Each structure stands twice: as structure tokens, then as C-alpha cells.
Amino acid sequence: MLFRRRVAESFPGRMRVHLWPRRSWGRSSRYVVYRLRRLSDSPHAVALGFAVGAFSAATPFLGTHMMMAALIAWLIGGSIVSAVLGTFLGNPLTYPLLWYLTYEAGNLMLGGHVQKHRIDLSNGIFQSSLAKLWPILKPMTLGCIPVGLALAALSYVLVKPMVEAYQRRRRREIELRSGREALGAP
């Protein structure tokens, strides 16, 4: 392979990079914005796809965000690539805030009568039934709808003008370059 590492990275090393980028969160964020702006779809499709990704990042179903975003984007005609990029709004830094907001919103939607539950995850949560998690998962599942819709609306409003401006500037540069080439200038 052309770009393979000389020494294979260990599994814990690969997992660490998935949770915390090697360089920085800022550089990773700039890369996502760069990729988003350069997509060739219409600005509406890119922004719609990103909004779908942001919505799916607000759901409490970890591990399904990218598949959920890609499927919804495909169904409604958004950009699948931008939907996957939009799921990166859910990361180890933002999940605690998203989980808190979705739980509180769901608790309000259920009438505010849901008692706050403490769950002991040390007893092997995967060996027991879903009944152990349901007191927290129910309000979060319900609360992810308004939180996700707000996050999706905000991201759509921010991404669409950014992509429009980039594509407009790129078209102008291409027209200027082709005009110079027609005149014989390098």
C-alpha cells in the first residue's frame, strides 16, 4: 500500500484518535468546514444534509448517527456527505450538553413529573434489560426532537449562505482564469 504506516498503530491508539484528534479540535473543525464548502451539490442540498446530520447528532442513539443521517438525507434529497459531516457536531465535548438539553426538554414534554433517576452502570448494563435505561432514555428520545430541530434550523441558516458565497467566489475565479487564458495571459 502506498500510504501505509511503517509501524501499525495499536487499537487503543486508533480509538484515542477517534475520541480526541491528534492535532486539535480547531484543525478538525476547519477541515470539516473546508470539506463542506467544497461540495459540488447545490447550497440547499448541502445545508439540508448538514442540518439532518446535526439533528441526528442530537439523538441519544450512539453508533447510529451517521447511518441515520445518511438515510434521512437520501430520503429528503440532501447531500449525504454533508449529512455525515453534520454528525460531527456530536462529539465528546458536545455530548454532555446535548444529553442534558434533550433530557430536560423531554422531561418538560412529559409534564415535568418524571423523577430524576440515578443509574448505576457498574452492574453490567449490557447484561440487563432495557428497563434499566428506559427512565433516562424515554425523556431523551422525546426531547431530542425539539433540540435536534433547533440545532438543524440553526445549522441550515449558517451553512447555506457560507456554501453560496464560496461557490459564487469559486465561479468568479474560474471565469477570471478562463478569461485570462483566452487572452493568452498565463
pLDDT at 110: 86
Cell (9 digits) for 156: 441550515
Higher pLDDT, 168 or 121: 168
pLDDT at 113: 67
Contacts of 84 (CB under 8 A, 6+ apart): 53, 66, 69, 70
H or E segment at 75? Answer: helix 65-76
**Residue linked to cell 434533550:** 102
* Whole-angstrom Cα Rg for the chain: 21
CB–CB of 87/65 below 8 Å?
A: yes
- CB atoms < 10 A from the CB of 113, how many? 6
Higher pLDDT, 163 or 24: 163
Per residue in 1-44, pLDDT (tens digit) is: 467 777 887 888 777 776 666 777 677 777 777 776 677 788 99
pLDDT at 48: 94
Per residue in 62-101, pLDDT (tens digit) is: 888 999 999 999 999 998 889 988 998 888 888 889 999 9
- Distance, in Å, from the CA atom of 110 to the CA atom of 130, rounded to the nearest integer, reads 20
Name the pLDDT band for 158 (thresholds 50, 70, 90). very high
Per residue in 94-144, pLDDT (tens digit) is: 888 999 999 989 989 888 766 666 666 566 655 666 667 777 888 899 999
Q: What is the rounded average pLDDT of the residues 50-59?
A: 94
pLDDT at 18: 66
CB–CB of 65/90 below 8 Å?
A: yes
- Distance, in Å, from the CA atom of 95 to the CA atom of 8, rounded to the nearest integer, reads 30
